[in-house]
Structures are given as structure tokens and as C-alpha cells.
Chain A
Amino acid sequence: MIEGLLIGLQTAFSLQNLLMVIGGCLIGTFIGMLPGLGPMSIIAIMIPVAISMGDPSAALILLAGVYYGAIFGGSTSSILLNAPGVAGTVASSFDGYPMARQGKAGKALTIAAIASFMGGTIGAILLMVFAPALSSVALLFHSAEYFALMVVGLSAIAAFAGSGQVAKALMMTVLGLIMATVGEGALFNLPRFTMGIMDLQSGFGFITLAMAMFALPEALFLVLKPREMGDSGEGEIKDLRINAQEAKAIAPVIGRQSLQGFFIGVLPGAGATIASFLGYAVERNIAPREEQEQFGKGSIKGLAAPETANNAACTGSFVPLLTLGIPGSGTTAILLGALIALNVTPGPRLMLDEPQIFWAVIMSMFIGNLVLLILNLPLIPYIAKVLSIPRNYLIPFILFFTMMGAYIGQNNATELLLLVGFGVCATALKFANYPLAPLLIGFILGGMMEDNFARSMQLYDGIAFIWERPMTLALLVIAAILIVLPSFRAHRARKRSMEVADGD
């Protein structure tokens, strides 16, 4: 591990990569602050840039920097304007915005910066410990287990989607898998489902789909329903310091939430959003009664908890990506797509075959967190100015950048028409409360899943691998349980509440 660390340090501390981290964090922070642009959209927009750099470690470092920056930027606008740019920072606005209203905006931003820094750093340490262990287990996996593991991952994403959403998330996942089968499969060299259209021969472009699923609907939502921007955050930002008493109050919160957030982030499908809400809820429940009253009215604990948790969870979500090659969230799914485009296959072999990439990413997490802390504390007042870009200029630019992202990747104008078409479909799906991330994850995993499935089918001459390999069977059983469990529990809860109602 020490050797790996040194390789990582060497790679991450090259001038180019340092610039990448700093640039990525800055871009992420500034764009992440804009309401309506989440980390997924920003990373999707940055992918063409990253891919054309050609160096996978630099590209991944840049994208990871953007990811952190975006989460931090999102908390800035949550706190100052009550307009979270990212779903993962919605919980930060519960207590951050009341603090800003009380004239403690500076303090709130400082707490957010410190909590994010601690969450991200502790998360990175945990990643260093757990990723190698997990990947040595993962090396025992064969294609059958891989297939089963992807089934588990996809079902977990559906299962964590929330009550009443499981079928929808499942539907979206299947739709993503279906879309992945369009085009020429590597295994058979036969065009499938192209309907004779030449442009579909190579399948749907993944960047096009990512833009259409996230950036475009968000931009259209901004057009449809203009949110108030830039009025309430005008007040002077001063008094950045926190005192010793406050530091003492939030230290245990940060400790707990780093751990909790990290492990939630590791779970597929959970991610920063759930981690931050859960972190907020847990801290409110275990706080003493008099402090519970403060939650929602500007409690520093209520701000520190979601901020720590969402950053730790971002780091945690890299674990399944780097060790198993299976993304647990929409954002890491996009990162996975970028890596594949750069000819890097994340998975257990990554640590052995290309340790410099693996360790450089981990090192860049530390650097990224540090850069965010150093850059953001003094820059806080200036950062807030970005929020005053008028939307009349902002929206055309967002649309333009989504189109450029799709165009540069393929150099094909048909891709732009697909982008608009899918974007409209995605907006309709969003209206109807269908989750969009599972679709993209399904799409990205689809190819790999089918390859592994096909390989095990060929090795065992049929589907015998399902019962001849106990681990595969166990994983598939877990997947089935994950899908059935939520509706079973909801059913029981409903039954119980009916009985109670009858008893009255």
C-alpha cells in the first residue's frame, strides 16, 4: 500500500495534474452553484474535455475535482439563496439558509467548507483502507459472479428508490439496458435493433444520453419555472470565524457523519443525497432535546451533518466504481463511461494493472479537498457573485454546452437531434416522477452485463452457471430479495395501519 501511495503521490503531484485538480474544483464550484446544474450535468459537460486529454489519470483527476467542487458549490447556493444547485445539498439549506438570514452567512459557509473538507478527507482515508481489501476479494470473481453482481447493483438502485418508486426505477433500469442493446454488439458483430438506420449502427452515444437525461431536462425546468435568483443573498458576508465552543459542538457530528456518509455512499443507488438527508435526520434524533428545537432554525449541527455526509458519500461512491467497476450512482456511472472511453477498465484489475491511476485518484481526493478549503474560504464573497448571471444568458449557454458535449464526442449532427428527442422524453419522464439515473446506469452497465452473461453461458453451455456456482446463486437471490423487500414491507405497514384504524 505504501508503494502504491508513493506512485499516487508522484502522479498526483505532477504540475499538470495539480492544475487539473485546482481547475476542476474551481469549475465545479462555479457551475455547481448555479441552480439546476447538478454534478451529473457538469461532469457530463466536462467529459469531452477530459476524454480529449488522452491521459486517463489526468482525466479522472479533473472529473473528480469537478465532482467535489460541484457538491461544494451546491451548498453555497443552498446556504446563501436557499436554491440548492444539487440534490445532495438540499438538506444543507434546512439550517444553512436560516443562518444566512440571521446574518451568519459567513459562519455558515465556513462550517460548510470545514465539514465538507473533513467528510471528504476521512472518506478518502476509508477508501484507501477498504478499496484494496474489496478488490482482492473481487479478483476471485468470474464472469458469472460479475453478471450476478451487476444484477445486484441494478436491483439495489431500484430498491433504494423509495416507496412507490420501485417499479418505476426498475422500468427505467430495464429501459437503459434495452437501449444498450441497440447497435452492433462486440460479441456477435451483428447490428441489432437499428431499424436499418446507419447512424444507430454504433449504438446511442453515452454522452448524448447523459446530457439528454440530466442537463437538458434541468435546463428546460429552469425555463418553465424561473426560480428567484440573486435577491436574498445581497447582504455583507463577514464574520467567517467559528469559535472554540462551536468547533467542539460540531466535531462529534463530523466524526459520525463521515463514517455513516461513507458507508451509505458505498451502497449502490444511495449516494450523496440519501446520505445527507439521513445524516441530518440521525443527528437531529440523537441531539439533546433543547438542541432539537434549534434544528431547522439555524443549528450549526444541522448544517455540519449533511455537509459532512454528502462529501463522505461522494468519496464512498468511488469504492464500487474503482474496485468492482460497477457504478453506484449516476455520477460515478458517468465517470465509468468516461474511463471506458479512455480505454481504462475499472475493476479489481485496475489496482494491479494500472496502480498509478488508482492511487492518483485517491491522492487527488486529498488534494482536491484541501484545494477546496483553501480556495473557498477567502473566495466565498466573490463566489456568490456568479449567482447574479441573468438567466437569459445562462440558459442558452447551458443548452449550447450540452449540444457541444454531444457533438464533439461523435462529430455527428444526428447526435444532436437524438439529444433533443431524448431530452424531451426525459423531461416527460421527469414530470411523471420517473427516476432518470437508473436508466443511465442500466445503459452503461448493459454492455458489460451482456458480455459477462454471454461468457458464462458459453462456459457452462447454458444457464447452468446460475446453480453450479453458489456465489452467483447467492448474489442473484440477494437481488431478488432487494426488489421484493420494499413492496413487501410497504404491504405489511399498510396492513398494520389498517388494523390500527379498525381498532379505533
Chain B
Amino acid sequence: MALDRWIALVLLGICLAYGYAAWFTMDDNLAPFMRRNPIWPSTFPKILSVLGIIAASVILLGLEKSEDTKEAEIDYRRLGEYKTGQAVLLLVLMVAYALCLRPVGFLLSTTVFLIAGSFILGERKWHVMIPVAVIATASVWYLVQEVLGIYMRPLPGFIGG
């Protein structure tokens, strides 16, 4: 089974779960006076769940024939030949950044993120990487904090930033 149909299967599952919530569980704690309304919070989701289940089934069952099997930009069947490791590491790095942003502070976590990002991609010129990251971090922080006036904790929490 091709990837698009596997995804359709997952989407079908999502739509079924969504539909279950909309049709059976959502209305339970609806206030009595609201039940007199012609429209309930669950009305629109009910319609959507039906549409979603139909669309997902059409893809899953391959009812719609596609004539052109045009070559995608990246062929997922040959994922091993691409730099998947780098991509995964970068995603992990992004998650780490998300978790560190608050406790470690903006300045440090961003600098480390930018340096580590280029390191993962194979850059080893530290004398370029570090200054670029530091300058970029500082200028973005200045822009966001001073020009746009959005507060971001600059320093690690224990220093009192």
C-alpha cells in the first residue's frame, strides 16, 4: 500500500474519533436551555466528520484514479538515501530549543541553537559560526524586545532574567 493510502487510513481514524466525540459524547454536558437551539456546538463537527470519513475512504479505497504518476520532489521510498539523520537531529534540536527557551532564557538557547544547527549540517568553522550566531541572536533580541516591545526572558531563570 502506498504512503498516501496509509495516511488516509490514519486520517480516517482521526475522523472516526472526531465523529465519535461529535455524535456521542459532546452533547452530554450541554445545558438544557441550549438544547432548544436549532444549532448545537456539535452540529458543524457532525457534518465535518461525515465529510472527512467519506473523503478518507475515497482515497483509501483508491476510488479516484489518478492518471499522472508524476515524480514527487522527494521519493519517500528512497528515504534512506537522503540526509534523514540530519533532518531528525534538527527536529530534536528544535524540540530541545522549545523546552529550553523559558528556563534557560532567550539569548543562550538561541545562540546554542544556531551553532548546533550549523554543526549538525556539517559546518566546522567555529570562528565563523560563533560570531554569526551571537550577532544574529543579539540583533533579533533587540528587534523583538526593544522595537516590537515583546518581552522575552533573556537570561536563565536563576540569574533573575
For B86, list chain A residues within 8 Å (CB): 223-224
Contacts of A223 in B (CB 8 A): 83, 86-87, 90, 121
| Chain B, Cβ-Cβ closest to A53 | B148
User: A415 → chain B, closest Cβ, in Å?
Assistant: 8
Q: What A residues does B74 contact at CB under 8 A?
A: 221, 224-225, 431
- Report how many residues on chain B are interfacial, defined by Cβ distance under 8 Å: 73
Q: Please tell me if B33 contacts chain A, counting CB pairs below 8 Å.
A: no
Q: Report the tally of A-B residue pairs with Cβ distances under 8 A.
A: 184
Of B6, B34, B91, the residue contacting A420 (CB under 8 A) is: B91
A106 to chain B: closest CB distance in Å? 30
Stretch at the interface among A39-47, A131-139, A391-399: A391-399
A392-B121 in contact (CB<8A): yes
B44: nearest residue on chain A (CB-CB)? A450
Give the residues in chain B near A399, CB-CB below 8 Å.
90, 94, 117
Q: Is A494 an interface residue (CB 8 A)?
A: yes
Minimum CB distance partner of B4 in chain A: A432
A interface: dominant SS: helix
Nearest CB of chain B from residue A41's CB, rounded to whole Å: 15
Q: Chain A, interface size: which category? A: 35 or more
Please, how many angstroms separate the alpha-carbon atoms of A363 and B150 in the complex? Answer: 31
* Chain A residue nearest to B26 in the complex (CB): A192
Contact of A175 with B by CB under 8 A: yes
Q: Does B38 contact A (CB under 8 A)?
A: yes
Of A111-119, A240-248, A454-462, which stretch is located at the interface? A454-462
In the assembled complex, how far is the CB of residue A221 from the closest CB belonging to chain B, in whole angstroms?
A: 6
19 contacts between A and B (CB under 8 A): A171-B8, A171-B59, A174-B15, A192-B42, A223-B86, A225-B82, A393-B132, A396-B116, A397-B114, A397-B136, A408-B150, A413-B98, A416-B101, A431-B3, A431-B74, A432-B7, A433-B72, A460-B38, A490-B67
**Apart from A403-B97, A431-B74, A458-B38, what 9 extra A-B contacts exist at CB < 8 Å?**
A171-B8, A178-B14, A224-B83, A224-B86, A392-B118, A408-B144, A432-B4, A453-B44, A454-B44
The 7 closest A-B pairs by CB, nearest first: A164-B66, A396-B117, A416-B98, A432-B4, A392-B123, A171-B55, A431-B76
